[in-house]
Structure 1
Amino acid sequence: MIPCIVTAAGLSRRFEGNKLLFKYHDRPLIAQTINNIAESKKIGKIIVVTGYMNKEIEDAVIKYVRDERLVFVYNPSYQEGMSSSVKKGVEALISKKERIDGVMVNPGDAAWIHPFIYDLVVDVFYRHRPVIAVASYNGRRGHPIIFSSSLISDLASIDESTRGLKKVLEKYSNSILQIETRYPGVILDFDSYLDYIRVKNALMR
């Protein structure tokens, strides 16, 4: 089983309002992201780590997504950065004591990553069993990322002060399987309204 940790705790400092509640395809960004992940039946538990405006985020997801795999975890240290949310999600997985083959990490604002991308990355991970598998477009790495279960201790000890997940990726740089998706959505960021326009333009090409 490969559970997915969705980071949805940030302050959205560069966006006017909470970007995860911004409407995308007539629903909040976070709801669309979770819906796309939930449409992939190859993913196990969906651990949504909340922090800033946690109640509003949970309500936005529950209103649009009904899935028994959904688990909400609150990160009281969300102001410390994304690393704290990944760690909180890993802690939740460890506490469940379920057998897992890997851990997928995906940002809550990636509403344009289609379900087939999640299926593809999971399938390739199981086929080749790399230490890390990451979706890419034209050679650029993006999301989602799957970390082998052998890296649980690494994920549980990341910190923003030591570059978080980037440090793990650098440590195992020789063991990363890059999966070319031919889909630009895997590398698109969403931090401002201008990014929203850029995302729309990129996906319309």
Structure 2
Amino acid sequence: MPWITSILIAAGTSNRMGTSKPLLPWGTQKLIEHQIRTLDEAGADEIIVVLGHLADEVAPYVRGSSKLVTVTNPDYLKGKTSSIKCGILRADSRTTTYMLLAVDQPRTSPMIRELILEHHIKRSLITQPIAKGGKGGHPLLFDITLREDLLAITELNRGVREVLNSHANNINRVPTNSELPLVDINTKDEFERAKGLFHSSRSLSP
């Protein structure tokens, strides 16, 4: 049986934003709560939330799903790759697919649900959503057979991009006709743009 382990990275220092990105307001929730709900509704079997910077402040908002596992990365200052590996090492032994997403990349449940379906119907090695305009985005889905490749990623080698490049001919690229796969909140301007995009698609929590 397929088992989707979603790894939600919420460990970074949010330097460019100037405030904790997991705790940004998103409708009546915090951004991290929206992400957890989205992954839960999309059908993830396990949601591993990797904390780091301000973990004690963020932890109370890691809630809203019975599928949650929280892990704190003591090496979060070494970069996102250390948090990805931290999540992979904590994954359930039943895992067949890893789905990687950062807390500052808000998505919708229907989009993620479609990616999960595509990944399993086509028995893909890697699945990636393609935004309107043709650029690849997130979340990324990786088959369990790539576990060792993912555990070998480094900041020096551009993280998961190294895995994507190594298996470029085996990526299931799923068109979305949407800008959502590219939404990535690093600045206040990007935050406002993301909220506008979600409002226009009626996807922001009330």
Normalising by structure 2, we get a TM-score of 0.91
Which one-letter code corresponds to 2:52 in the other structure?
A: G
1:27 alignment counterpart: 29
* CA offsets 1:73-121 (integer angstroms, 9 cap, x no match): 110000011100000001111xx4x22221100111223x111111100
- Secondary structure of the equivalent of 2:77? helix
Which residue matches 1:129? 123
Question: Counterparts of 1:62-77 in structure 2 under 5 Å?
Answer: 62=63, 65=64, 67-77=65-75
Tell me the distance in 1 between the aligned counterparts of 2:113 and 2:137.
Answer: 15
Counting helix residues as a fraction of each chain, which structure ranks higher? 1
Letter in 1 for 2:47: I
Q: Which residue in 2 is equivalent to 1:10? A: 12
Q: Choose from 136, 144, 169 the match for 2:139.
A: 144
**SS of residue paired to 2:100:** strand
* 1:122 maps to amino acid: I
Q: How many angstroms does 1:154 deviate by?
A: 0.6
Amino acid at match of 1:115: S
Query: Does the aligned pair in 2 maintain the 1:34–1:108 contact within 8 Å?
Result: no
Q: Does the residue aligned with 1:140 lie in a helix, a strand or coil?
A: coil
Offset at 1:191?
Answer: 0.4
Alignment of structure 1 residues 65-144 onto 2, 5 Å: 65=64, 67-93=65-91, 96=92, 98-111=93-106, 113-138=107-132, 139-144=134-139
What is the CA–CA distance in structure 2 between the aligned matches of 1:184 and 1:70, rounded to whole Å? 28
- Equivalent in the alignment of 1:46: 47
Deviation of the 1:3 alpha carbon: 0.8
**Residue 204 of structure 2 aligns with which residue?**
none
The Cα shift of 1:18 comes to: 0.7
Q: Distance in 2 between matches of 1:26 and 1:117?
A: 22
CA RMSD for the aligned pairs? 1.3
Which residue number in structure 1 is paired with residue 157 of structure 2?
A: 162
- 1:128-161 Cα offsets, whole Å, 9 max, x none, are 0111001121211111110011100011111111
Displacement of 1:29 in angstroms is 0.9
Which of the numbers 184, 189, 194 marks the counterpart of 1:189? 184
Aligned equivalents of 1:16, 1:183: Cα separation in 2 = 28
> Which has the higher mean CA deviation after the structures are superposed, 102-111 or 71-80?
102-111
SS at match of 2:14: coil
Q: Distance in 2 between matches of 1:27 and 1:201?
A: 16
Q: Secondary structure at the match of 1:10?
A: coil
TM-score (norm 1): 0.91
SS at match of 1:3: strand
Percent identity, aligned pairs only, is 28
The offset of 1:45, in angstroms, is 0.7
Q: Give aligned pairs, total.
A: 197
